[in-house]
Structure 1
Amino acid sequence: MIIPVIMAGGSGTRLWPLSRTAFPKQFIALTSNLTMLQETAARLDGLSGDDGISPMVICNEEHRFLVAEQMRQQKLTPSILLEPAGRNTAPAIGLAAIKAVEDAKLASASNELTEFPVLLVLAADHVIEDVEAFQQCVKSLLPEVQAGKFGTLGIVPTEPATGYGYIKATTSSGRLGRVSEFVEKPDAETAARYVAEGYLWNSGMFLIRADRYLEELKNFRLDIYDACVKSMASTQLDLDFVRIDKEAFEACPDESVDYAVMEPLAAKGEVVVAPLDAGWSDVGSWSALWEIADKDAQGNVMAGQDEKNFILQGSENCYVYGSAGNDGSGRLIATLGVENLVIVDTPDALLVANKDKVQDIKKIVSQIKASGRTQHHQHRMVYRPWGIYDSIDSGERYQVKRITVKPGAKLSVQMHHHRAEHWIVVSGTAKVTNGDKTFLVAENESTYIPIGQVHALENPGVLPLEMIEVQSGSYLGEDDIVRFEDKYGRA
């Protein structure tokens, strides 16, 4: 029994301004119509003999509704474990292993395990072009893992890259090798030697028996093991989510699975590796995304919106991204006589960078944080469990939002101390609670919510509700919300 465990807790900045803390790259469609999280889940179809296998997803509190919605779109109902704080991969896999063992025991009539669950640990933000090759590698590891060994997928290098860790393995029977060493990211000279000597890139993908992982975690890092056990001792179910003990998990050491378990096990000959040559990328930069994307005759990539919205005159080897609107449209982007550039246009931030310098984007993000701006954290378009809002205009004492409410969804019962709101329905029907009155507002109709009035908004229909909200008042921040009731469990 293979249980995919998708690690979706990252908040990467390397693909800014598209990737942001509140909406990182794993939730963005970068290489297809599916997001990277959805692509990760989709490549699991058929792996266990059944299509539509539901994974376990580990993410943080801020991204929980993004995970739930994107999995719902894939018709999947995963267990979603919420990490109260980031503590790296060793504790995260520990939580998943405990959950998998507990669930397997509950499913057993005798509460005893005759078959131990096997965890397939995956990152949510990798690209793998050859899904069949990926699945064959996983299956090739399974007999060894079921026998108690630890498995990993090692990427066959395409170049002496300095951005990845490496795996040194001794050859063995068939496709598998015995890992003798995990090594850190090397300098260029060392990377060239590693590739020449047949080392593999460390993908961070593992196949491990849940009980064996807990056994070795307890053996090598008792402090992490104890923290994970305490964290899972009093879990709470909250809608689609499993909440673990916050205090216990925050006390857990921060450590990667490589350091905590894999490296000492490799020294004992307990780790096997399957070489994977399947068009893998961790999409760690805009230049990496350019490398794997389809290009025109001049080596340019046009992404994010319809190609008719790009005019690239006399330009070569550029990556140009334009953000599409709700209707799929976007604004015209034109370049003239440029080369080797990354241009990423979003509604509230524009990046123009030399493709050879994109690894330094983190310096821009740091400067944004230091300046007190918010473009590192949130997009102009914000996703909520009930739908989306887009802050399309703002000024002194006013703000205009375009709001989309999903069918059957409802915003919290709330009030504001400092702002009034005007709601205009563009399409659909709104069910409005305004003080002690509840009524319907149809297309081309409006209503007014005074300052301090308790109110709520709901979409009772089967089509999306589209609205314009005009806020006015002395303070328009999102923290001026007092919630009295919320179907999504938000504070």
Structure 2
Amino acid sequence: MIHPVILCGGSGTRLWPSSRKAYPKQFAALLGKESLYQMTLRRLTGAQFDRPLVMTNEDFRFLASQQADAIGLADARVVVEPCLRDTGPAILAAALILEREEGGEALMLVAPSDHVIADIPAFLAAVGRGVEAARGGALVTFGITPDRPETGYGYLELAGRPDATGGAVPLASFREKPDPEAAAAFLAAGTYLWNGGIFLFRVGDVIAAFEAHAPQLLAPCRAAVETGAQDLNLFRLGREAFARAEAISFDYAVMEKAGRVAAVPLSCQWSDLGSWDALWKEAGPDDSGVSTHGPVTAIDCSDSYLRSEEDNMRLVGLGLDHMIVVAMRDAVLVADKSRAQEVKNVVGTLRAAQVAQADDYPRFHRPWGWYETLCLDSRFQVKRIMVHPGGVLSLQSHHHRSEHWVVVSGTAEVTVGEKVRLLSENQSVYIPLGATHRMANPGKLPMYLIEVQTGAYLGEDDIVRYEDVYGRG
């Protein structure tokens, strides 16, 4: 049995504005109805896999659980990293959890949550070929057979050419993203693979590798596991201990230093969707080189990617060539396709100017559901709110605003002061300034309502929270 470990804590800058810090790309439905994270969960589900261990952070703990539950994988175990420490401490913490539960002989497969692998049987076959090497004590990584001189990926240098069986090959070195000339030489040599960031090894072997090459991580990560605690359906690593761990990637901490490292070639369509031009390619350009998503009309366009995220926003491209255009309700990106790798720098520029759209997503996800602002002025705000079946907002009050709630779909259980009542479609309630109140969805379908706020201050920090079933302060 293989224990999948899914790394799910990306920052969401390279596919801005569709991916942002508040809602990074692994949770977005970029290529269909399911998110990249959900596609990863499905890929790592089957007879050969135990239930997955999902390593994520505070901001995404409920989102990770909800998206797993939405595709029928409610048994996914979510481990909350209390602070960002990169992939090294995350993988070590996962290994220590599995060592405590399964022992050092257990196999763990580490995978990012935001990659696309089109040929799942080929991927599973590659994992199967890596098992023998991993059981023999090797730290196995999976490299994608390159089909072009790509400069956007790191490379794995093999000690020899892969044979016809596609088995594990000893690794000579890790290579950073090359320039065009080096990438062409790598492709011609036939002994280089793209670094896919996917690993397979025995739990005891990877812990021993950390002890040999990154011993400074052992004590804080062990303490974080030992002082961790179950919280609802989540496991929280100990905050103080985990914060003492050095922030370092797994490649730098272990893989580039370890002796018994092998690579298994993976020959299939793969992408880390690290830029908009990668998504353009994955979406399948037409004969003119145009890929579109959403309500888009392309007229006399070529070699371009046009995307509208809003059902009621029609994006029209006229005479565009070599362009990326992404339209959302609160932000629009227009860029030359050759500069797609620079989008992350745009986010830095927006952050420096304190532009909210740099990090905030127009739909704010919460453990109970989500809300989005439809209209905002100095003394009023209109929101649309969705509450999951069984979802419960905190018992709270506001110092500066009153609210009107109008149910538009489903049933709401509303508490105002001491009074509790059920509201159905087209019914409404008024919450006076200062009144304690709460909303819940007792039904089996999502509940939607419109909230109208009025007052002198409408910020989200004007909340006095008295009770919360999700443990928020």
**Which of the five TM-score ranges fits, normalised by the shorter chain?**
over 0.9
- 1:180 counterpart residue number: 172
Pairing 1:133–2:131 present: no
- 1:426 counterpart residue number: 408
Alignment check: 8 A CA contact 1:2 1:120 kept: yes
CA offset digits 1:451-474 (Å, max 9, x no partner): 111100111222222211001111
Q: Which amino acid aligns with 2:54?
A: V
Offset of 1:47 from its aligned partner?
Answer: 5.8
Alignment check: 8 A CA contact 1:89 1:256 kept: yes
CA offset digits 1:415-449 (Å, max 9, x no partner): 11111111111122211110111112222221111
Among 399, 411, 421, the alignment partner of 1:417 is 399
- 1:299 counterpart residue number: 289
Q: Which amino acid aligns with 1:313?
A: I
Alignment check: 8 A CA contact 1:165 1:185 kept: yes
- 1:271 counterpart residue number: 261
Q: Distance in 2 between matches of 1:310 and 1:373?
A: 27
Among 252, 272, 296, the alignment partner of 1:310 is 296
Among 383, 390, 393, the alignment partner of 1:401 is 383
Offset of 1:46 from its aligned partner?
Answer: 2.9
Alignment check: 8 A CA contact 1:60 1:86 kept: yes
Among 196, 214, 219, the alignment partner of 2:207 is 214
Q: Which amino acid aligns with 2:410?
A: G
- 1:108 counterpart residue number: none
SS at match of 1:375: helix
Pairing 1:122–2:111 present: yes
Q: Distance in 2 between matches of 1:46 and 1:446?
A: 47
Q: Distance in 2 between matches of 1:407 and 1:230?
A: 37
Q: Percent identity?
A: 42
Q: Which amino acid aligns with 1:246?
A: R
Alignment check: 8 A CA contact 2:306 2:317 kept: no
Q: Distance in 2 between matches of 1:271 and 1:389?
A: 47
Alignment check: 8 A CA contact 1:133 1:277 kept: yes
Gapped regions of structure 2 (runs ≥ 5)? none
Alignment check: 8 A CA contact 2:296 2:307 kept: no
Q: Distance in 2 between matches of 1:312 and 1:184?
A: 37
Q: Which amino acid aligns with 1:457?
A: M
Map 1:352-431 to 2 at 5 A: 352-431=334-413
Gapped regions of structure 1 (runs ≥ 5)? 105-112
| Greater alpha carbon shift after TM alignment, 74-83 vs 55-64 | 74-83
SS at match of 1:85: coil
Alignment check: 8 A CA contact 1:316 1:339 kept: yes
Alignment check: 8 A CA contact 2:398 2:435 kept: yes
- 1:31 counterpart residue number: 31
Map 1:56-455 to 2 at 5 A: 56-76=53-73, 77-104=75-102, 113=103, 116-171=105-160, 174-175=165-166, 176-198=168-190, 199-265=192-258, 268=259, 270-303=260-293, 305=294, 309-324=295-310, 329-455=311-437
Q: Which amino acid aligns with 1:80?
A: V
Alignment check: 8 A CA contact 1:151 1:207 kept: yes
SS at match of 2:439: strand
Alignment check: 8 A CA contact 2:305 2:324 kept: yes
Q: Distance in 2 between matches of 1:334 and 1:39?
A: 30
| Greater alpha carbon shift after TM alignment, 334-343 vs 136-145 | 334-343
Alignment check: 8 A CA contact 1:47 1:135 kept: no
Q: CA RMSD in A?
A: 1.5
SS at match of 1:334: strand
Where does structure 1 differ by over 4 angstroms across 4 or more consecutive aligned residues?
none
* Cα 1:47–1:321 shift into 2, 3 Å: farther
Q: Distance in 2 between matches of 1:474 and 1:370?
A: 28
Count of aligned positions: 468
Offset of 1:32 from its aligned partner?
Answer: 2.3
Q: Which amino acid aligns with 1:302?
A: T
Offset of 1:330 from its aligned partner?
Answer: 3.0
Q: Distance in 2 between matches of 1:389 and 1:253?
A: 36
CA offset digits 1:22-68 (Å, max 9, x no partner): 100000111222100011111123360x6xx5211101100111101
Offset of 1:170 from its aligned partner?
Answer: 2.2
Alignment check: 8 A CA contact 1:98 1:214 kept: yes
Q: Which amino acid aligns with 1:46?
A: G
Q: Which amino acid aligns with 1:238?
A: D
